[in-house]
Structure 1
């Protein structure tokens, strides 16, 4: 009797929630790129933490730039999702946290970012700490 070759099953489509998280992630990275954020880094958290699928860390040159990037991001996130993200740290804009559910964004002034070193804190000991944001968003 001849052997029957098994046909590999097609890869499952991403869940609708995952597609929404990916679209939000791309929107955030593109917005930060447009606003000339410094050293934007995307840390994948899916399967490692239940708080979000991604954490994005970026810097601005000044408190004014950090605040401006945060306000623009909040507007774009609301336009995409229909919900306003939770924002902390706007009065001083040294460190602004934007909680968009599937993506957590930390915007810093460079000195504050160096002090807290979140990228190191979120290293899971399994390879590179983070993916540069341009690469994560598919920019070459």
Structure 2
């Protein structure tokens, strides 16, 4: 079974929310970047929570048959980047999210609303 970027976005957001990720934001990059269709940005309040969020996203992507193309930052659990192809997920520790504020860097991207 092959899933599209919109379905993958839903899976990653739900996985992050299942692990109580803070302030989950999805940005639509389709019109402004070739990097990915979507960025998902969220944070955890501890290294343990950041790791748990990242592991759940990886697990749910695997269950959906999506190959994780790359994962960086698991060693320190301060900013974990998960490349799923159409969706790139940034799981920050709260302080790093405030510091890097990548939502501001991609401010011309539209925020995806979920019902």
TM-score, normalising length from structure 1? 0.75
CA distance in 1, matches of 2:67, 2:39: 19
RMSD over aligned CA atoms reads: 1.7
Pair 79,100 (structure 1): closer, same or farther in 2 beyond 3 Å: same
Could you tell me which of 21, 27, 50 is aligned with 2:34? Answer: 50
Offset of residue 32 of structure 1: 1.1
Could you tell me which of 51, 64, 77 is aligned with 2:61? Answer: 77
CA distance in 2, matches of 1:91, 1:130: 31
Q: Which one has the bigger strand percentage? A: 2
SS at match of 2:50: helix
Q: Which residue of 2 aligns with 1:68?
A: 52
Q: Which residue of 2 aligns with 1:37?
A: 21
Could you tell me which of 54, 79, 91 is aligned with 2:75? Answer: 91
Gap regions ≥5 residues in structure 2 = none
Task: Name which structure has the greater RCO, CA cutoff 8 Å, separation 6+.
Answer: 2
Choose 1 or 2 for highest CA Rg.
1
Q: How many residues align?
A: 114
Q: Which residue of 2 aligns with 1:137?
A: 114
Q: Which residue of 2 aligns with 1:9?
A: none
Q: Which residue of 2 aligns with 1:116?
A: 100
